[in-house]
Amino acid sequence: MRRSWCLLPWLLVAGLAGCSPEPGAAAGWSSAAPEVVAAALESPRHARFPDQVLLPWGDAAGEVGLWPGAPERPPAGPDCLTWAHDGGVWLNDPHNGRVVHLGPDGSWQGSLATPPAVEGLLGLPDGGLLLLGLANRRLIRLSAKGEVLEERGLHPAFRTIAGLAWGADGELRLVTGYQETYSLGHPGSPRRWPELLRTRQEGVAGVSGGRPVQVVLTDSTGTLLWYERTSTLPGKRPEPTAVPLAGTAGAASLRVLDADHAGRSLLLEERHAGEQVARRLRVFDGEGRDAGSLVLPEVGLYLPRTEFAAGPEGVLLQLRPLPDGLVLARYTWPEVQP
């Protein structure tokens, strides 16, 4: 009845008590070969993770679950992903109460049972995983074997939590809704409230190790704000370097997906098109010049909460829930090409 408590023994006496997985919630490791569909984009540098991987809807190994839409209730399914330590991917599968691990070649590696209401993931260097639960306001650290190693509460003062990220300093960072982050410390040695508040950093750094960056739209024209070291102390907040972005006039929104040391940035641009919204990936060089773009297909069955995950070496993964199943599409940048 209470699947959530199933994991508590792992936390409280880790390694001493187990938990029988619910039917359909795979706690053990299993394998099955997913269907790898034809490559849509060529990647000169990343031949490993396939360009597209299709996971059919279902609850077996090799599948992920979908709640079909119902009156007054949209469909829902996997809603976030993160890169794994091995070059593969972790994927949330809430319908089946698990997270799914795909290997670097896109193959099904297995799954781990999770507590309910997981809404964010972050892969850890030791092969483990950090789970973000917003309804219960929890961070839960799993080992690679699924043991709960650590559980931390999120302070109620954090209302707009966008997700988790690694900072360039190697610390976990909590990304909020204002394009800023707070350092959570290292796994196992967390920063505590209110110390956490002192770690605010303007801007969100890309996973490729770029500087913290924000984007603002003023009169529908975009500007990137690059930050160096930041401080929240009075009078110590540094001025960012502002870089106007060419060709953004009329944009409805801009979101930074990744940035690199060279000052290049990958953004998601939205434009209104009647009742619809047109989206494309855009790359800008360090001077804000247009360095490429790629029109994205229409949103599928639903829009995942974390649709994109930027990985090392300019790889970007996208979740696309389609009628046949969930597609993981890979893009690369800075050379985005249709």
Partner 1 sequence: MKTLPALLVLPALLLVPPAATGLTREEVMTTARGYAYHPWRATAANLDGGCPAGYTSYYTVGDHLGLPYDWGGYLTLHQFDAAIAAGKAAGSAPYTDVLACNVGLDCSGFVAQTWRQPQIGTYGIPDVSTEVRREDVQAGDAFNQVGYHVILYSHRQANGLPFLYEAMGYSVHPTFTQGWAYVSGYSPRRLHGIEGNDPAEPTGTADRPLEVDTFPFVTSGTTRGAPSDLLDYCGAAPATRELGPEVVYRLVLPTPGRLVVTVQDDAGVDIDVHLYSAFAEGSCLARHDTTLDLQVGCGTYLVVADTWTSADGTEFAGRYDLTIDFTPDPDQPCVPVTEFSFSGRPGAPCAFPGDYDLPFCNESLGATTCLYTGGEPDDVSFCSLTCTADRDCQAVIPGGCCGDIGEEDDYCFTPEFCAGEGEGEGAEGEGEGAEGEGEGAEGEGEGAEGEGEGAEGEGEGAEGEGEGAEGEGEGAEGEGEGAEGEGEGAEGEGEGAEGEGEGAEGEGEGAEGEGTEGEGEGTEGEGEGNADWICEPGNYTSCSCPGEQRGRQFCAADGQSWKACQCAAAEGEGEAAEGEGEGEDDTDRDRDGGCTLAAAGAPPAGLLPWALALLLLGRRARRRVAEPYA
Nearer to partner 1, 37 or 305 (CB): 305
* Stretch 172-231 residues interacting with partner 1 (CB under 8 A): 177-179, 186-188, 190, 192-193, 195-196, 198-201, 214-217, 220, 222, 229-231
User: Binding segment for partner 1 among 51-59, 171-179, 287-295, 328-336 (CB under 8 A)?
Assistant: 171-179
Q: Residue 104: which residues within 8 A CB-CB, separation 6 or more? A: 48, 49, 86, 87, 88
* Stretch 56-115 residues interacting with partner 1 (CB under 8 A): 67, 69-74, 76, 94-95, 115
- Among 37, 48, 232, 246, the residue binding partner 1 under the rule CB under 8 A is 232
Nearer to partner 1, 107 or 136 (CB): 136
Strand partners, 173: 165, 183
Q: Residue 129: which residues within 8 A CB-CB, separation 6 or more? A: 82, 84, 90, 99, 112, 121, 122, 123, 141, 142, 144
Nearer to partner 1, 29 or 158 (CB): 158
Give yes or no for a contact between 206 and 310, defined as CB atoms under 8 angstroms apart.
Answer: yes
User: Binding segment for partner 1 among 45-53, 54-62, 247-255, 322-330 (CB under 8 A)?
Assistant: 247-255
- Minimal distance, residue 8 CB to partner 1, in Å: 5
For 45, 56, 90, the CA distances from 39, given in Å and listed in that order, are 14, 17, 21
Residues binding partner 1: number (CB under 8 A)? 96
Nearer to partner 1, 103 or 300 (CB): 300
Tokens for 157? 């003062």
Q: Does 265 bind partner 1 (CB under 8 A)?
A: no
* Stretch 25-54 residues interacting with partner 1 (CB under 8 A): none
Q: Does 20 bind partner 1 (CB under 8 A)?
A: no
Counting beta carbons within 10 angstroms of the beta carbon of residue 337, is it exposed (0 to 12), middle (13 to 18) or buried (19 or more)? exposed
User: Which helix H or strand E contains 123, and what residues bound it?
Assistant: strand 120-123
Nearer to partner 1, 192 or 289 (CB): 192
- Minimal distance, residue 44 CB to partner 1, in Å: 28
Bond into 240 cis (ω within 30): no
- Minimal distance, residue 149 CB to partner 1, in Å: 6
Q: Does 126 bind partner 1 (CB under 8 A)?
A: yes
Nearer to partner 1, 55 or 124 (CB): 124
Of all residues in the chain, what percent are helix, strand and coil, respectively (each to 5)? 5, 40, 50
State the Cα torsion 186-191-195-197 to the nearest 10°.
Answer: 60
Q: Does 128 bind partner 1 (CB under 8 A)?
A: yes
**Site map (CB under 8 A) of partner 1, residues 303-332, x = contact:** x-xxx-------------------------
Residue type, 254: L
